[in-house]
Amino acid sequence: MKRAGRRFWSNVAAVAYKETTVFRHDRALIAAVVAQPVMMFLLFGFALSNKPANVPWAVLDQSRTSMSRRFVESVQATGYFLPPKRVSSYDEGNSMLRREDILAFLVVPQDFRRDAERGRPRVQLLLDGSDPLSAARVGAYIGQVGASFEPRREPAAQPPHPVRAQGPLDVRQRFWFNPTLADRNFFLAALAGMLLTNLCLSGTALALVAERESGAYEQVLALPTRPVEIVLGKLVPYVGVSYAVMLFAVIMPGLVFGIWPRGGWATLLIITLPFVLASLGIGVFVSALARTSAQAVFISVFFILPSFVLSGVMFPYQFMPHGVREIGGFFPLRWYQIALRRVIERGASLGESALPVLVLAGMFAVVLAAIRWRMKPRLG
């Protein structure tokens, strides 16, 4: 009995030693294992924050007095906002809010100074509520500025008789696209993007490397097909599955929570295609780079996690520091979640989502060229 036990553990140790030796010589796998936690530590420790920064906003100053300009300067002095974009009409500011050019739209009424002299100064603040956390924080910061703002009269405007004490500034907030600031709306609007990223990369990352390990890759190369034809043929089934997953991710929130797309279904189908192709292409390229299945899995995970973090599906990319924000632009999920949220939450048309669609189409073209370069039509 003891001899059998020693033999059992001896065999386990021998297999473990063999696997350790293989792992120790797999430099690509070791690099992925080491680089991934280091990268995530740097992102969560230094780059990501829910604190507003570089917030784009617009101002419609109908008062055009020193008092209104001083209030705008007080908001700017908080350090959370970019220089305000001046607009000349209410509709212009609303259009910028709809296009996501700004996150906040401040309207100073024409009677601002008169209301301040009467002790009832007020302004209107329109906020993009599609990101509840960002909208709430931006509104809170501007509200704090209004609460501490002291409207002082200009010397020429002092009346000959005393008036009652001036109160704090009343900031009337209104949230667009998500009036109740429900977190559920924010996350479910991008659910399809997260599911498709995981499906496309995980499903195709093992496509070529598994055939290479099983010996079937040589048979594929022996066929009268070009590398591009092989790749496109492998992607077609995944495109159909991806559309099924996308429809599930859009229909289920509508049935359960009543969150239906405000835009057209045809627009959703069109913007999904280039994203799915780009994501599937990246998975195939990973499979072409990797030599073993373990390498393919680690590289795909190495791509999926930063894609979730830097794309804006969980954290607003507008608040990320420069450099990190631009890196997120290389992930297809960044552009798909922009187009997806525009259609679902804002009711955007295909024309209003044209830029993300064109960027995704360009990404797919680049990835396809890289795959063609990597997949040599010969053995070895």
Q: pLDDT digit string (tens) for 159-200? A: 444 333 344 788 888 888 888 888 888 889 999 999 999 888
CATH class of the domain at 57-181: alpha beta
Residue 157: pLDDT band (50, 70, 90) is very low
Q: Which residue has the higher pLDDT, 179 or 215?
A: 179
Q: Of 18-22, 28-32, 287-291, 332-336, where does the model show the most confidence?
A: 332-336
Q: CATH 3.40.1710.10 in the chain: give the residue spans.
A: 57-181
Among 137, 54, 142, CA closest to 318: 54
Q: What percent of the chain has pLDDT over 90?
A: 30
Strands 57-61, 122-128: pairing is unpaired
Mean pLDDT of 2-28: 71
Q: Which residue has the higher pLDDT, 89 or 220?
A: 89
Evaluate if residue 87 carries a pLDDT over 90: yes
Cα–Cα distance measured from residue 328 to residue 312, given in angstroms and rounded to the nearest whole number: 8
Q: Return the SS3 of 106.
A: strand
- Report the residue count for the chain: 380
Among 138, 121, 116, CA closest to 129: 138
Report whether 223 contacts 368 (CB < 8 A). no
